Amino acid sequence: MPAALETLAARLTRARDATHAAGLEALLLTPGPDLRYLLGIAGESHERLTCLVIPADGDPALVVPALERPGLDGTPVVDLGLEVAEWADGEDPYALAATLLHRSGSAAMRTAVGDAMPAAHVLGLRAALPDRTQELASTVLAPLRMRKDAAEIAALAVAGQAIDRVHARMGEWLRVGRTEAQVGADVAAAIVAEGHTAAAFVIVGSGPNGASPHHDVSDRVVRPGDLVVVDIGGPTPEGYFSDCTRTYTMGEPAHPDVAARYAVLQAAQDAAVAAVAPGTTAQSVDAAARIPISDAGLGDRFIHRTGHGIGLEVHEQPYIVTGNDLVLDQGMAFSIEPGIYLPGRWGARIEDIVVVEANGARRLNHRPRELALLPV
């Protein structure tokens, strides 16, 4: 279900105003999360150009292939009263976009294109606008998309509840003698059954595979004593993502150092969540997660950022990482996911999505964070 019509109209106005304030002539956006945010329409960019043109001084218009125009019926594009400029195969859609842009009469010579716009469209627009520079649209849109409204936070909470239900059922599938791939296939099906439209990713890292943060699944058989890192998520019908990691142990851990080091990991995640507040910086939250792990002599075993923003994309701004001095604000949503990885032995990670509220962080995932012992 798309956002309310008045919400979309307000987002378009804010995007136009931010484009003007940035000294840009226009935003040029192809299908993807940006268009879903602004127009409430899902979809991907193809070889035929669909492009939303948002002039800094003027009304937005949507360039669309004529054969795809009927698909806009019944979407917010119609109710928003957006101008739709059709083009047929054999015509130049980039020239059409340039014509719409020139109409505004802006003196600015800088345009911004969607961060994930296909190179073919970037270069096509560059050829049609040879006197304009191209920049990334995230400089304008990220500050808007980072601050979630109440409806977006509610959608993220629904996604968090859905993925919590999958973790609650993990004992149905994660068993000794099964391969990671077998477990992953069942988990992927459960992600959909519990309210997502798809499983965007399923990581089942057992034993030494858990020490690879972006492991997928493999034919490795789960064994007694294994730690298993399970990182899962996907989009709900509203388009908002879940992302949650828990670490399981198949009976008592095979390695004697697990209990003490997992306690350090829990302390790190709790410290990072406690550090979240309006007015603090992204890098200070990252630092809060690192201090307990470094104090335990494991600083070099925490090998990734502490978190990433989440919303209409599973990874978006803000990034909770060293060097990011972005000041956190109410409505920002992101993961807190420190990990400890011991190559050739085991790994562990705890991940929750949090939202910045007036008094600190609100967790959107509520499954226990202790090392989850499953029967052998």
Task: State residue 103's pLDDT score.
Answer: 86
Q: Identify the structural domains of the chain with CATH numbers, from first to last.
A: 5-143 (3.40.350.10), 150-374 (3.90.230.10)
Query: pTM for this one?
Result: 0.96
pLDDT tens for residues 80-134? 999 999 999 999 999 999 999 988 777 789 999 999 999 999 999 999 999 999 9
Residue 290: C-alpha distances to residues 276, 318, 326 (Å): 14, 18, 18
Element (H, E) at 355: strand 352-357
Whether the predicted pLDDT of 1 surpasses 70: no
pLDDT tens for residues 329-360? 999 999 999 999 999 999 999 999 999 999 99
| Average pLDDT of the residues in 51-62 | 95
pLDDT tens for residues 163-192? 999 999 999 999 999 999 999 999 999 999
Whether the predicted pLDDT of 42 surpasses 80: yes
Task: State residue 140's pLDDT score.
Answer: 97
Tokens of 39: 């127009």
* Distance, C-alpha 319 to centroid of its chain: 10
pLDDT tens for residues 271-312? 999 999 999 999 999 999 999 999 999 999 999 999 999 999
**Mean per-residue pLDDT over the chain, rounded:** 97
> Residues of 4-15 as b/e, b for ≥16 C-beta within 10 angstroms?
eeebbbebbeeb
Task: State residue 108's pLDDT score.
Answer: 80
3-state secondary structure of 91: coil
Whether the predicted pLDDT of 159 surpasses 80: yes
Q: How confident is the model at residue 76 (pLDDT cuts 50, 70, 90)?
A: very high
d(CA 305, CA 327): 17
Number of C-alpha atoms within 13 angstroms, CB side, residue 7? 14
Residue 188: C-alpha distances to residues 193, 194, 197, 217, 323 (Å): 9, 10, 11, 12, 35
Cβ atoms of residues 247 and 372 within 8 Å: yes
Task: State residue 3's pLDDT score.
Answer: 83
pLDDT tens for residues 308-327? 999 999 999 999 999 999 99
| Average pLDDT of the residues in 135-147 | 97
Task: State residue 105's pLDDT score.
Answer: 75
